[in-house]
Structure 1
């Protein structure tokens, strides 16, 4: 076994990764013991839009300039090759349902979209304190907060009748 192939990941990602750890001589994946990433600089971004009353969440990786180029390259490859955008999106669907209901109730009680943005960012901070700023849920909550459509209650397609 190669030490560079000892990367903690879930079964699904480990199966996708197999033993392919290098391409053209360069490491493909992040190594959580060898590659240091900041605990405070977000690189995982969730873009949230609303189409026909339904929230859509798209994840992407956007490393900050503080991330060394070789690590940023592996970060992007890791994200792409393991199809983490799709994985995170599946996880975020349930969170979206919870937050859609929350937004609808708060708006009905007189909260403003600005109040909801602040509260969603506060929730993201709580998750980030435990899981990190680059956890899929932290990014989703920031994405919900940044979407004026979402915080204005445009997700009517997900509300119970």
Structure 2
């Protein structure tokens, strides 16, 4: 029975690749990628075929392993370790793509859970495809250090101030050369995978570890040396990955007079 769908799968794979290359996945009609409703059992069989053939020691396992081993770090967030393989277009909606290699992406457990079985309904809802969408030529990830008073109001803390609390906020800041649609896709990706929360958690873990080197810079030359030290860290991280959350973090800290003038001690204390 499943062999009768071989040609349809090949046609579907071609249509999918063209849509990936032209960022038109939202225009794909699910009806063209699945047996008709009266053949619901065939749809289930196509999905089951993927699940069965990708198991260890099964014929399709090398395809699964190749997808999972493409990256060691999750390409969706850049933080988590790849543990799973995800369907960029969900197999529950597009079963003809269930075993198509370019629809199988390496992913960490958290990002796989966050994405769920969602399909884009408009251009902006298309999350980034690591095989086709390269957004790392331009800088788009930024961060800022926000200080708050006791009543919760944000204010620009000055040197020697003691704000009631603080937070690091990560956000998408697309370059002016991007068109609106491209920028919205990156924002959608950022939102879908909850990258702001993820990077804030990473920053909270990272800051205590760099307090010692910041203190040394401060003792050597005050705020200017702290700023230079942080910018050096940012450049190092950006050389490896332009939109590294660490590059964005260190630049934001270097840009904050309160932090560089001693506020780093309060931040490191949590």
Is TM > 0.5 for Structure 1 vs Structure 2? yes
The answer to whether the aligner puts 1:139 opposite 2:222 as a matched pair is no
Query: Matches of 2:237 and 2:123 in 1, distance apart?
Result: 37
The structure with the larger Rg is 2
Corresponding residue number in structure 2 for 1:18: 116
User: What SS does the aligned partner of 2:234 have?
Assistant: helix
8 Å CA contact 2:145, 2:167 repeated in 1: yes
The answer to whether the aligner puts 1:73 opposite 2:184 as a matched pair is yes
8 Å CA contact 1:49, 1:57 repeated in 2: yes
Q: 1:23 to 1:101 in 2, by over 3 A?
A: farther
8 Å CA contact 2:124, 2:184 repeated in 1: no
Structure 1 range deviating more: 61-70 or 140-149: 61-70
8 Å CA contact 1:53, 1:154 repeated in 2: no
Query: Matches of 1:129 and 1:25 in 2, distance apart?
Result: 31
Q: Please report the TM-score for the alignment, with normalisation by the length of structure 1.
A: 0.82
Q: 1:100 to 1:149 in 2, by over 3 A?
A: farther
Q: Of the two structures, which has the highest relative contact order with CA contacts closer than 8 Å and spacing of 6 or more?
A: 1
Q: 1:63 to 1:9 in 2, by over 3 A?
A: farther
Q: 1:71 to 1:10 in 2, by over 3 A?
A: farther
| CA shift for structure 1 position 34 | 1.6
Corresponding residue number in structure 1 for 2:220: 110
Which residues of structure 1 form unaligned runs of 5+? Answer: none
Structure 1 range deviating more: 119-128 or 2-11: 2-11
Deviations 1:65-98 (CA, angstroms, capped at 9, x unpaired): 2234332111001111221100010011122222
Query: Matches of 1:67 and 1:85 in 2, distance apart?
Result: 21
Q: Output aligned runs, 1:1-161, within 5 Å.
A: 1=91, 2=97, 6-24=104-122, 27-39=125-137, 41-51=138-148, 52=163, 55-107=166-218, 109-130=219-240, 132-158=241-267
Q: 1:156 to 1:32 in 2, by over 3 A?
A: same
Deviations 1:99-152 (CA, angstroms, capped at 9, x unpaired): 334323322x2312122212211111111112x121111111111111111111
Query: Matches of 2:132 and 2:174 in 1, distance apart?
Result: 17
User: What SS does the aligned partner of 1:75 have?
Assistant: helix
Deviations 1:5-46 (CA, angstroms, capped at 9, x unpaired): 54443211111112213134754301122222143x211011
Query: Matches of 1:82 and 1:141 in 2, distance apart?
Result: 22
Structure 1 vs Structure 2 CA RMSD: 2.5
Q: Please report the TM-score for the alignment, with normalisation by the length of structure 2.
A: 0.52
